[in-house]
Amino acid sequence: MLQVLESELARVAALSVAQPTPVPAVKNARGRLSCVRCGQTAFATLPSGARYCLSCVGMGRVTTGARLWRVPLAGVPQAGPLTWAGTLTPAQAQAAAAVQTSVAAGRDHLLWAVTGAGKTEMLFPVIADALAAGQRVAVVSPRIDVVRELAPRLSAAFAGTPMTVLYGGLPWPGENAALVVATSHQMLRFYRHFGLMIIDEVDAFPFSQTPALAYACRQATDGPTVYLSATPPTNLRRQAARGQLARSFLPRRFHQHSLPVPRILRVATAGLPGRVPQALWRCLAQARAADRRALVFVPDTRWVAPLAAAARAQGFAARGVHASDPAREATVQAFRDHTFAVLVTTSILERGVTIPRCAVIVLAAERAQFPASALVQMAGRAGRAAASPNDPVWYLAGHFTWAMAQALHEIRVMNRRGQP
């Protein structure tokens, strides 16, 4: 069922098949307040004296004395069959079957697979099972760009299934869909709605650092959850090691080639973005000579525009994009369409983006904004296509860091474990 504020009730009235149920929006346990929508306990006081939740205020204010309305929807719409015509590799098929077994037993499952292993395709069988059983399925990610990448692939794989895409800025869904692809924030709008929850990039910001999002996903489903990651967080690794969580592990990409191992180039980064190290232009020239595009990751949004301009001055067809860029979606699509060759960006594109024949450069890789997991994920944008598995990756850094050492170690370990 949907879970909405009273002010939003009229928007979803047409989807309801029964009388909405009101519940207190805030719990008060011996003076300790907690938000029913997001589960958090951080509150502030309004001039009226009412308290409101700070954690989920971006989706509408939840205040003391207010009510949330839980809106029952019509039965799950008829879902179509799996229309994907591809085939899984033996390793992918084994992992997919393990996920199906766990979900059939009502057990949560961690699908731990290197970047480019084909995690999305491995989900198709378990999604098809859930839809055939008359359940709703949610596929969620913390990142809008990942949602945009997943949505067309899932729509094509389940062409006859009603599907809704939800993220900030989109209107309320106009239909009762069987398959929902959304950012994890949108799960705050649901309560016991899904029979299967799939969380992609479970270690990504903001999911990994925002307890309200994990709470929202738990509240939104009454069935098992499948977690996907190339760099799963420590708590999930420990649960899997203890047998508290089922696990599939794929250390090899679908095309069976090893992950590109980053090269580290020592450069002067103190003058960035004004003084650009010459090594950046050499790396971009090498990518261009091999007919590759290039992703240049930077640690600061303020660097994006000046570095893109500097690259254009050097003769490279370059643009920049960051999270608050209003042209973000169009710019990324233009890069996919080969309109230009170099994209300067922040960590918003470190996950869920597949660009064939693409080199990766992490500029100022020593900065604290680039933890080991981010460095692994950024490197994972390279070599994803079978036709170009050896795309280069460079970390341009003022000095070597522990995060860089961890990233290199994890990539090399995965490559060793993936050897036949």
- DSSP codes of every residue in 91-152: HHHHHHHHHHHHHHTT--EEEEE-TTS-HHHHHHHHHHHHHHTT--EEEEES-HHHHHHHHH
- 230-260 pLDDT, tens digit per residue, is 989 889 999 999 999 999 999 999 999 999 9
* Average pLDDT of the residues in 100-117: 96
pLDDT at 206 over 90: no
Distance between CA atoms of 54 and 143, rounded to whole angstroms? 21
pLDDT, mean over the chain: 94
pLDDT at 195 over 90: yes
Distance between CA atoms of 82 and 87, rounded to whole angstroms? 12
Q: Where in the chain is the domain with CATH 3.40.50.300?
A: 90-250, 263-417
The pLDDT value recorded for residue 209 is 82
- 82-108 pLDDT, tens digit per residue, is 999 999 999 999 999 999 999 999 999
The pLDDT value recorded for residue 44 is 96
Peptide bond into 273 cis (omega under 30): yes
Report the percentage of the chain scoring pLDDT > 90: 85
Antiparallel, parallel or unpaired: β 67-71 and 163-166: unpaired
* Average pLDDT of the residues in 216-231: 96
The pLDDT value recorded for residue 196 is 98
Report the percentage of the chain scoring pLDDT > 70: 100
The pLDDT value recorded for residue 9 is 87
pLDDT at 416 over 80: yes
Distance between CA atoms of 406 and 412, rounded to whole angstroms? 10
* Average pLDDT of the residues in 182-198: 96
pLDDT band for position 402 (cuts 50, 70, 90): very high
Cα 281 to Cα 272, 343, 361, 396: the distances in Å are: 14, 13, 11, 11
The pLDDT value recorded for residue 171 is 78
* Average pLDDT of the residues in 257-271: 96
pLDDT band for position 49 (cuts 50, 70, 90): very high
* Average pLDDT of the residues in 314-335: 95
- What's domain 90-250's architecture? 3-Layer(aba) Sandwich (3.40)
- 380-398 pLDDT, tens digit per residue, is 999 999 999 999 999 999 9
- 4-15 pLDDT, tens digit per residue, is 998 888 888 778
pLDDT band for position 76 (cuts 50, 70, 90): confident
**263-417, which class in CATH?**
alpha beta
The pLDDT value recorded for residue 116 is 92
